[in-house]
Structure 1
Amino acid sequence: MADEEPTPREGRPVLEGLVALVAVALAVGLILGGGALLVKRLVGLDGDSATSDGSSGGGGETMYLPTPSPTERDTGPQITLAPDPGGEGGPPPSSKSEEPETAISLTSDASEVGSMERIYLRGTYPDGEGAILQVQQWEGDDWGIFPVTASVSNETFTTYIQTSQLGKNRFRVVDTDSGEASNEIRVTIR
Structure 2
Amino acid sequence: MGGMAEQTPPPEEQDPSERTDRPILTGLVALVGVGLVVGLVLGGGALAATRLLGLGGEEEAATAVATERDSLVLPEPEETEEPDGPLVTLRPDPQQSARPSQEPTEEEEEGITLSAGQTQVSPMGQIDLTGVYPGGEGAILQVQRFEGGRWGDFPVTASVSNETFSTYIQTGQTGVNRFRMLDTDSGDASNEVKVTVG
In 2: Cα distance, 1:109 partner to 1:119 partner: 6
Q: Secondary structure at the match of 2:97?
A: coil
Q: 1:89 to 1:108 in 2, by over 3 A?
A: closer
TM-score normalised to structure 1 length: 0.52
Post-superposition CA distance 1:11-55 (Å, at most 9, x none): xxxxxxxxxxxxxxxxxxxxxxxxxxxxxxxxxxxxxxxxxxxxx
* Residue type of the alignment partner of 1:99: T
Deviation, structure 1 residue 124 = 0.3
- Among 117, 130, 134, the alignment partner of 1:122 is 130
What TM-score results when the alignment is normalised by the length of structure 2?
Answer: 0.50
Q: CA RMSD in A?
A: 1.9
CA distance in 2, matches of 1:183, 1:86: 22
Percentage of pairs with the same residue: 55
Q: CA deviation at 1:88?
A: 7.3
For residues 121-173 of structure 1, give each alpha carbon's deviation from its aligned partner in whole angstroms, at most 9, with x where no partner exists.
00000110000000000012000000000000000000000000000000000
Residue 121 of structure 1: SS of its match in structure 2? strand
Match of 1:109 among 113, 117, 120: 117
> Which one of 180, 186, 193 corresponds to residue 185 of structure 1?
193
Aligned residue type for 2:190: S
Q: Which amino acid aligns with 1:92?
A: A
Q: Which residue of 2 aligns with 1:132?
A: 140
Letter in 2 for 1:175: D
Q: Name the counterpart of 1:95.
A: 101
Aligned residue pair count: 106
Measure the CA separation in 1 of the matches of 2:144 and 2:167. 13
Deviation at 1:97, TM superposition (A): 4.1
Larger Rg: 2
- For structure 2, the residue ranges without an aligned partner over 5 or more in a row are 1-90
- Give per-residue Cα distances to partners, 1:80-105, cap 9 Å, x unaligned: xxxxx954783322113443623000
Q: Which residue of 1 aligns with 2:155?
A: 147
Partners of 1:100 and 1:111 in 2: how far apart? Answer: 22
Deviations 1:50-94 (A, max 9, x none): xxxxxxxxxxxxxxxxxxxxxxxxxxxxxxxxxxx9547833221
Runs of 5+ consecutive residues of structure 1 not aligned to the other structure: 1-84
